[in-house]
């Protein structure tokens, strides 16, 4: 590893101050993506600001009809949380499907969405659930936050502090995972609340996570896997093709995963 300055603030205020004054600084959360990229010299920040020493950034609460998840909450904590399992069991299952136990015990929700890997699981779940991302500066709807491959609406140095997830939806996530990394080759999240249905697809879009509106329209009429019969899956021309799967195959998988998610969410 090369030389860099390491900072470990103990309050959000201190972290804010550091990110405001340091040049070439990167935030460190679970390090599951940042450290490998630094080791490979794909990123070489001169300053690293570790968020691990700030208690106010971790933890899960239920506030009214919302789950409030601190940015430094690990995937394992979300997966094992009694609150999440009670309010949104599908979200606990999604977190439990991320990587392996090592990754789940280090990786955080804040780091995952800040990185916005096109094959990450949380972006699909949070988009379908209509979550709000809270930073040290503002609040962003998930639909405005995820802006493309590995890109978000975050400004340089902006710190995600928590994620607010509305509860009360019938929600499930189905993922066809890469056998090695377990990232989503295709992941589909389905949320039904009142008469509204949201379907978000991750792992496949050539521009990152996206909503599948044709499926939403069909599922709003009838919330069952069969309602997707005859609905064309997203066109391969807007999907990724790579050594793991062709765009055509991903288009097919979207239909399969969507049916599985609807079946789980509807409990039928």
Ligand X SMILES: Cc1cc2nc3c(=O)[nH]c(=O)nc-3n(C[C@H](O)[C@H](O)[C@H](O)COP(=O)(O)OP(=O)(O)OC[C@H]3O[C@@H](n4cnc5c(N)ncnc54)[C@H](O)[C@@H]3O)c2cc1C
Which residues bind to ligand X, rule: CB under 6 A?
Answer: 26-34, 51, 71, 98-99, 103, 106-108, 110-112, 114-115, 117, 120-122, 159-160, 181-183
Minimum distance of ligand X from residue 218's CB (angstroms)? 27
Taking the least distance from each CB to ligand X, the nearer of 110 and 205 is: 110
Smallest gap, in angstroms, from Cβ of residue 231 to ligand X?
Answer: 26
Distance CA 186, CA 241 (A): 11
For 255, other C-beta atoms within 10 Å of its C-beta total 20
Q: In what order do the strands lie in the sheet with 25-28?
A: 5-7, 47-50, 25-28
CB neighbourhood size of 226 (10 A): 12
Nearer to ligand X, 71 or 186 (CB): 71
Geometric angle at alpha carbon 42, from 125 and 161, rounded to 5°: 40
Closest CA to 188 of 220, 152, 225: 225
Q: Report CA 220 to chain centroid distance, whole Å.
A: 24
Shortest Cβ 139–ligand X spacing (Å):
14
Residue 33 CB partners (closer than 8 Å, separation 6+): 107, 111, 115, 117
Kindly tell me which of 139 and 221 has the beta carbon lying closer to ligand X. 139
Closest approach of ligand X to the CB of residue 178, in Å: 8
Minimum Å distance from CB 194 to ligand X?
28
Nearer to ligand X, 53 or 236 (CB): 53
Distance CA 245, CA 223 (A): 29
In terms of CB distance, is 48 or 262 closer to ligand X? 48
Please state the closest distance from residue 226 (CB atom) to ligand X, in A: 30
Of the two residues 90 and 110, which places its CB atom closer to ligand X in the complex?
Answer: 110
């Amino acid at each position: 590893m090369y030389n860099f300055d390491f900072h470990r603030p103990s309050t959000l205020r201190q972290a804010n101050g550091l990110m405001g004054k340091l040049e070439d600084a990167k935030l460190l959360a679970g390090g599951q993506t940042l450290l490998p990229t630094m080791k490979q010299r794909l990123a070489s920040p001169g300053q690293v600001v570790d968020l691990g020493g700030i208690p106010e950034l971790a933890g899960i609460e239920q506030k009214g009809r919302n789950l409030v998840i601190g940015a430094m909450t690990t995937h394992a904590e979300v997966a094992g949380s009694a609150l999440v399992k009670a309010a949104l069991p599908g979200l606990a299952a999604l977190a439990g499907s991320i990587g392996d136990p090592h990754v789940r015990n280090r990786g955080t929700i804040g780091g995952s969405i800040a990185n916005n890997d096109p094959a990450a699981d949380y972006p699909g779940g949070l988009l379908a659930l209509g979550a709000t991302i809270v930073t040290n500066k503002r609040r962003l709807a998930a639909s405005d936050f995820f802006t493309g491959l590995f890109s978000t609406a975050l400004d340089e140095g902006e710190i995600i502090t928590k994620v607010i997830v509305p509860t009360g939806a019938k929600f499930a996530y189905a993922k066809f995972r890469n056998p090695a990394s377990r990232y989503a080759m295709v992941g589909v999240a389905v949320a039904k609340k009142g008469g509204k249905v949201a379907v978000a697809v991750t792992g496949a879009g050539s521009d990152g996570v996206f909503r599948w509106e044709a499926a939403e329209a069909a599922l709003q009429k009838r919330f069952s896997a069969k309602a997707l019969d005859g609905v064309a899956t997203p066109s391969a021309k807007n999907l990724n093709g790579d050594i793991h799967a062709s765009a055509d195959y991903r288009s097919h998988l979207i239909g399969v995963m969507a049916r599985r998610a609807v079946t789980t969410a509807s409990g039928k």
